Structures are given as structure tokens and as C-alpha cells.
Structure 1
């Protein structure tokens, strides 16, 4: 009973959203980037777009947002971060297929040491690691994203 109720509630909420306008997608993409992307710091200048995540839906939405911004796939570089016990080859193919980015555009992977006593649940054949998506030549896009984020914050007004 509870599973059916969960599915119904999720489906109703999904259907209520409908198709996003370009403006809505832009705002959602900015908020997603600000939550999950790399940010510039006074002590660590990084004025370029880089998002890292393991959720295929987050990655797909981020790519759709980049398309809206006019970023072509040839400007992207991907990097996989994965544990040494996982199948790196399969993970690279998975992320290449999902993103439409050729494997020739992948940077050297980050392979993490395996801890046999780990409490991680994402192990074995289904582990695809995280994918970092770098946008080459994106300093201006980064600055516009940061500015838009603060516009969203100001536009929302103070919390009550």
C-alpha cells in the first residue's frame, strides 16, 4: 500500500511540473550548478564551469542547460572518478553513451583506492563512479552563472 502511495505521489508531482520554458530551465540550471558545481574562491580562482555528479538525471539536466547556454559538446571534457574495484571501461562507456561525449574527450580518470571495509553500497558492476563535466573557455559563462545565482537569491527575497 505504501509503495503504491509513494509512486502515485511522485507521479502526480512529476506531471504537475510539465514542460519547462527556456527561462525556467535557465533558472533551474543555475540553481543546480550552484548546488553541485565548482565555485570560484578568493583563495582558489576557478572561473570555469565544472560539475561533478553520479546521478544520470542531474548530468542530463546539466547538459540540457549547457545546450540552452549555447555550449556545444566539443567544448566539453569529462573525467571519471571511480574506485579501483569498479569497471572503469564500462563506466567510461556508460558516461560517453549518456552524455554523447566521445571518449577521446575524456581526461585521465581519477582512480580511488578500494577500502574492503567500506560501507558504500554502490559497489560492483553497477558502480559507474562520478563524472566531472568541464566546459572549456567558460570564464564568461561562469561569471554569468554566478551573477544569475545572486539574482535568484535577491529575487526570492528574505526567508520569513
Structure 2
């Protein structure tokens, strides 16, 4: 049965008087169930209307499991903690921290932006140093694993180096002369060791430097002469590469020494042996895969 505020008949005819009783009981701390039993009101719609606008007493509210976390988060924020620190300390999400403390004033910055950047840079430099140590350790262990090369190993390495960096004979352009070009001192030294293994007379070697004209040409010539141990008579004229201002070259600075060209005189037979050996390596690798 619907109850009208102006109705004067029925079980709950005096609504206003009944509401006064319900409100008084509510304010005295009774729960809905207690008020219902006290006033003998078993219609929830009517009970809702009687208690409309009256908040429940604190003791009837269910405890929230995060109330303690919220209180602690607010306490930490007032102490000047950042969202990151609060999140890590309490083990809760960033969104929860924001919801709990966003009405509080932001903590004052204790460091200048320059100081913060310096701290971040030091941390990053430490990481880079650790990475470099790991990188160098891997290289050192790999180098030690190689050890001393046997004559056969050096022979195969030399053939592979030449086929990668040396000139090749073509059907349309016969070039059966050993000519090797590289800028890496280690590669040059290894190729010279290979020539010694092949019993090539050092007197048959001719060298020339190829380098950009803006580099230290004289310094590069001295460097390659010292590395090879060759005299001035074995060095041909240096080839200078014209400077192009539009090109952003990376090979600059003191470590740039251009490329060294090594030519072996009377080397047609040696070239043929290199080419044949290379195709022997190719066939050997193919058989291994098969």
C-alpha cells in the first residue's frame, strides 16, 4: 500500500509523527533494522522515506580495507614524499595514490633541476660503465679462446681476408695481381703475417696511402711506415681524396690514418692460389652443411 504524506488513514496514517520518531532513533545511533523493529515498519519503501536525508551512524559502516593505506599515504605526502616513493612504500597503484593525496599541497622541490639532472647523469654513467666492462670482458674472453693460430688456420684466415678486401680477377678485366686495401691496422698486420706464411719476399711489396686531403697526411704516412717496417723506396705516391664540404665525414680526428694499399709484385701465381683456395673454402662449408 502506497503511503501519502497527506493521508490520514491506514496503518501509517500519521507520517510526519512517524518520521520524527524514525529520525530521532536514527540520530540516537540505531540501525535500519533496529528502527524497523522498534516502529514495526516492515515496508522498505516507507522506511526509506522516513529516513531520507539522515546519514547512517558510523558504527554501521563497513570498514574499508584500504583506509589504513590511504591514511598512511596522506601522512607520507605531508612529509614531502613523491608519488613514486609512496607507491613503492605501500605497494599500491599510482592511481590510488593520486586519488588519496591529490588534494594535498605538492611537496617543495628539494633539488634544483640542475642537481636532479646531475644525479640522473651520474646514475646513467654508472650503468654505461658497467655495460662497457661487460662488453670488454666478453671481448677479452673471446680473444683468449682463439689463442695462437696454426699455419693452416692463418692460411684460411688470410684467404678469407683477401677475398673480402682484395682485388679480384674478372673475365672482362684480367687482374691477376695481389692487391689488398684496408684501414684497420690489425687487418693489415694479419695480412702481412699471411704473406710471410706464404713465403712472399718483403722486397716484392709496394705500399701506398689513400687519405683525405684535409687529414694529417704526413702523420699517416709515418704511421703506416712504422707498422709495416717498410722503407721509403717501397712507398708509392700517396693518393689524396678531394674534400667534399657537403659530406658529413665520420672518419676524422687523430685516429684517422686513411687506407693502406699493399701490392705484391710478380704475384699472378699467388693470386690464382688465393682464388682456388677461396672456392675450396666455399665447397668445404657447403659439404659441412650437407
TM-score scaled by length of structure 1: 0.95
Out of 118, 121, 125, which is 2:250 matched to?
A: 121
Query: Matched residues in 2 for 1:145 and 1:61: separation?
Result: 15
Alignment of 1:88-107 (within 5 A): 88-107=217-236
Out of 257, 269, 275, which is 1:146 matched to?
A: 275
Alignment of 1:71-86 (within 5 A): 71-86=200-215
- Secondary structure at the counterpart of residue 174 of structure 2: coil
Alignment RMSD: 1.3
Higher relative contact order, chain-length normalized (CA < 8 Å, sep 6+): 1
Please tell me whether the aligned partners of residues 78 and 132 of structure 1 are also in contact (alpha carbons under 8 angstroms).
Answer: yes
Structure 2 equivalent of residue 47 of structure 1: 176
Say if 2:146 is the partner of 1:9. Answer: no
Say if 2:219 is the partner of 1:61. Answer: no
Query: Matched residues in 1 for 2:242 and 2:261: separation?
Result: 18
Q: Name the larger-Rg structure.
A: 2
Please tell me whether the aligned partners of residues 76 and 136 of structure 1 are also in contact (alpha carbons under 8 angstroms).
Answer: yes
Query: Matched residues in 2 for 1:101 and 1:117: separation?
Result: 36
| C-alpha deviation, 1:88, in angstroms | 1.5
Alignment of 1:28-47 (within 5 A): 28-47=157-176
Per-residue deviation, residues 74-133 of structure 1 (Å, max 9, x unmatched): 110011111111121111111010011112111111111112332212224432110100
Structure 2 equivalent of residue 157 of structure 1: 286
Structure 2 equivalent of residue 21 of structure 1: 150
Dislocated runs of 4+, deviation >6 Å: none
Please tell me whether the aligned partners of residues 26 and 68 of structure 1 are also in contact (alpha carbons under 8 angstroms).
Answer: yes
**Gaps (5+ residues) in structure 1?**
none
Of Structure 1 and Structure 2, the greater strand share is in 1
Query: Matched residues in 2 for 1:150 and 1:59: separation?
Result: 23
Please tell me whether the aligned partners of residues 75 and 136 of structure 1 are also in contact (alpha carbons under 8 angstroms).
Answer: yes
| C-alpha deviation, 1:152, in angstroms | 0.6
| C-alpha deviation, 1:72, in angstroms | 2.0
- Secondary structure at the counterpart of residue 71 of structure 1: coil
How many residue pairs match? The answer is: 160
